[in-house]
Structure 1
Amino acid sequence: METRQADVSIPLQSSGWGAAAPGHQSDPQPRDYVLWSVLNVLLWCALGGLGCLSFPALVFSIKTRDCKVAGDLEGARRHSHHAKVANIVCSVLFTLALVIFIIIAAIVISSIRVT
């Protein structure tokens, strides 16, 4: 006896009464910024284990994906905006921390060479 698997597909958008035609989209889907959030978490973890500073961006990114799958585009737009702002703040803070670290390392190395 041979077992067969059924092909199952789940649509990512709701196909309600107000859905747009397949070839025409009136509003673009909000971006979820998950890759940027994961990159921020990894960079902050590499910089002294401070990955918790970028977890809010990752949470908002995942909430954006959840809202998109559920068909709640307004909630997805709101969470997408929060994820973008949190990722910008994390990226700027990481850049500043890296520049400060490089400056301190240069000062320490130059003071070691002088003495």
Structure 2
Amino acid sequence: MQSSYRPPENFPLQGGARDRTVVISMPEHPKDYIVWSMASLYFGNPFCLGLLAFYFSIKSRDRKVVGDLAGARAYGSTACCINGWALALIILTIIIAIIVVVVTMSAVTRHFPSHSPYY
């Protein structure tokens, strides 16, 4: 996983013998989870959670463009949480579907034995 940390940049001041270094720390932009929200919207979308996550991702991106980093971080965190719940429900649904198919197939094969002439 790639880190988004960037070390502070140093810029020397104009001043002759007493040159000093100024450290400028740039604020880290919050994540908006837009790609994960689009994937949740397209694949599965249980209880419209993907749509809700997409909405909060767009709100986070809008807040980031305006310059409200605290609001963008809050909306991004909400989008991440909703995406997590959507992913958990999608995985749970797939597991339940696999179990139902396996149990149904085993019941059908037990109920209807093979119709071989040698049976």
Normalised by the length of structure 2, the TM-score is: 0.68
Question: Using the alignment, how far apart are the partners of 1:27 and 1:84 within structure 2?
Answer: 20
Residue 83 (1) aligns with residue 65 (2)? no
Moved over 6 A (4+): none
The one of 34, 52, 56 equivalent to 1:60 is 56
Residue 73 (1) aligns with residue 73 (2)? no
Residue 37 (1) aligns with residue 40 (2)? no
Normalised by the length of structure 1, the TM-score is: 0.70
Equivalent residue, structure 2, for 1:114: 110
- Asked whether the 8 Å contact 1:41–1:51 carries over to 2, the reply is no
Question: Using the alignment, how far apart are the partners of 1:38 and 1:105 within structure 2?
Answer: 29
User: Quick one: higher RCO (CA 8 Å, sep 6+), 1 or 2?
Assistant: 1
Please say which structure displays the higher CA radius of gyration: 2
% identity of equivalent residues: 33
Structure number with higher strand proportion: 2
Question: Using the alignment, how far apart are the partners of 2:35 and 2:78 within structure 1?
Answer: 15
Q: 1:111 to 1:83 in 2, by over 3 A?
A: same
Residue 103 (1) aligns with residue 99 (2)? yes
Q: Deviations over 1:48-99 (max 9, x none)?
A: xx46232111110010111111111111011011001111111111111110
What are structure 2's unaligned runs of at least 5 residues?
Answer: 1-8, 12-23, 112-119
Measured on the aligned residues, the alpha-carbon RMSD in Å equals 2.0
